[in-house]
Amino acid sequence: MTQELEALLELARHDAAIREQARKIELLQRRRQALLEAIEREQHEFLAKKRAFEELQHQSREKSREVDDLDAQIRADSEKLRTGLLSYKEMEALRTRVEHSRIRIDQLEDEALALLTKVEEQAPLIRKAEQDFLAWKAKIEHDIAQIDAELAGHSRTLHQLKEERTARAAAVEEGLLRRYEELRARYEDPLVPLIGGVCSGCHLRVSEITAERVRSQIVTCENCSRLLYVK
């Protein structure tokens, strides 16, 4: 009897160790996943900022090009006015165009300058944001690598424990093992001590007969069916 109980207790302790490893692995995997998601979130946020900045740079370049094009047009028109063989009507039309273009180019230059100022203000902020993001990402990736190392260790332990379990289970009497395995599908603790007549699994008092029988053998709790023993 003592030997039988000892073998079953050994198996229960072994199963508890397996559960513990599995729990640790699950927690680490959840943490790993959360870190990966955080990287993705931050990256997404940073790239959105970067894209907005690139769009601003693009607008700034386009505006400068508009200024250059209009400037070239004004020069060409002025040259034509100076040297071209034009009718009075054509001259008038060209002069009006040049006047309008001069007003327009002043506006465009103001707009181009405003955009350029914005680009110059934002450029160092974007560079800083990129440096911060990359430094943070490197740190998180380092944490993930550490988690991976821990996971590998726990997985090895779990694998070993599972292999050893076969021998532990074989040491338990067959009928008892079957009941234990059935209960294990329902409870994390299929084998519990009876303390002061109370089942440690369901915390209910067992009958006096059961409390008496448990002194000499492994018995079943009438309430929860767990296997009971006394220390």
Give the binding site for Zn ion (CB under 5 A): 199, 201-202, 221, 223-224, 226
Of 64 and 200, the one with the shorter C-beta distance to Zn ion is 200
Count of beta carbons in the 10 Å neighbourhood of residue 22: 15
* Least distance in angstroms from the C-beta of 172 to Zn ion: 20
The residue type at 49: K
The two three-digit tokens of residue 121, written as one number: 């203000």
For residue 171, how far is the Cα from the chain centroid? 44
**CB neighbours of 163 closer than 8 A, spacing ≥ 6?**
none
CB 63 within 8 A of CB 108: yes
* Least distance in angstroms from the C-beta of 21 to Zn ion: 27
The two three-digit tokens of residue 201, written as one number: 């699994």
* Least distance in angstroms from the C-beta of 13 to Zn ion: 19
Of 35 and 202, the one with the shorter C-beta distance to Zn ion is 202
Of 84 and 197, the one with the shorter C-beta distance to Zn ion is 197
The residue type at 174: E
* Least distance in angstroms from the C-beta of 144 to Zn ion: 43
* Least distance in angstroms from the C-beta of 11 to Zn ion: 19
Helices marked H in 84-207: 88-170, 174-184
Q: What is d(CA 82, CA 62) in angstroms, rounded to the nearest whole number? A: 30
Of 179 and 226, the one with the shorter C-beta distance to Zn ion is 226
Of 153 and 193, the one with the shorter C-beta distance to Zn ion is 193
Planar angle of CA 99, 105, 111, nearest 5 degrees: 150
Strand partners of residue 227: 191, 220
Of 199 and 218, the one with the shorter C-beta distance to Zn ion is 199
* Least distance in angstroms from the C-beta of 219 to Zn ion: 11
